[in-house]
Amino acid sequence: MFKQILLSKIHRATVTACDPNYNGSICIDKDLLDASGMCEFERVEIFNLNNAERFSTYVIVGRAGSGEISINGAAALINKPGDRIIIINYGLLHTEEIASHKPVIVLVDAHNKPVKIKK
């Protein structure tokens, strides 16, 4: 049997921009993607800590070291720069893999720089 399990989380990132005229997605600094193991075009879930909104979208890669967290498309209307968010991804693991699995948790500072990575 397979179960959907948390793979990684970027915790308390700060939204840097919102663009409702873009086709949709979340643009994330490449350094954060590398730290978390998330990849371009992967589905992610976003939880906004300021307004309790939740939505899913896909990842596009932002410039490394930029601290960029840009929410695009319709979701830009329910978020704003300065909002704190949690970005998570899930994967399917076989029940035999679950006991040894540890999700990657990336804790960031106010500028979206990784300060601690838990594995």
What dihedral do alpha carbons 13, 32, 117, 10 form, nearest 10°?
40
Does residue 101 register a pLDDT over 90?
yes
Within a domain: 119: no
Within a domain: 94: yes
CA 66 – CA 108 distance, rounded (Å) = 13
CA 82 – CA 98 distance, rounded (Å) = 35
CA 13 – CA 107 distance, rounded (Å) = 8
Does residue 106 register a pLDDT over 90?
yes
Within a domain: 69: yes
Within a domain: 96: yes
Average pLDDT over the chain, rounded to an integer: 97
Does residue 23 register a pLDDT over 90?
no
End-to-end CA distance of the chain: 24
Quick one: 30 exposed, middle or buried, by C-beta within 10 A (0-12, 13-18, 19+)? middle
Does residue 64 register a pLDDT over 90?
yes
Mean pLDDT of 76-90: 98
pLDDT of residue 86: 98
Within a domain: 28: yes
Mean pLDDT of 59-85: 97
Q: What is the CATH number of the domain that holds 101?
A: 2.40.40.20
Where in the sequence numbering do the catalytic residues fall?
Answer: 25, 58
pLDDT of residue 111: 97
Within a domain: 99: yes
CA 15 – CA 57 distance, rounded (Å) = 15
**Domain containing residue 12:** 2-111
Give the chain's domain count.
1
pLDDT of residue 85: 98
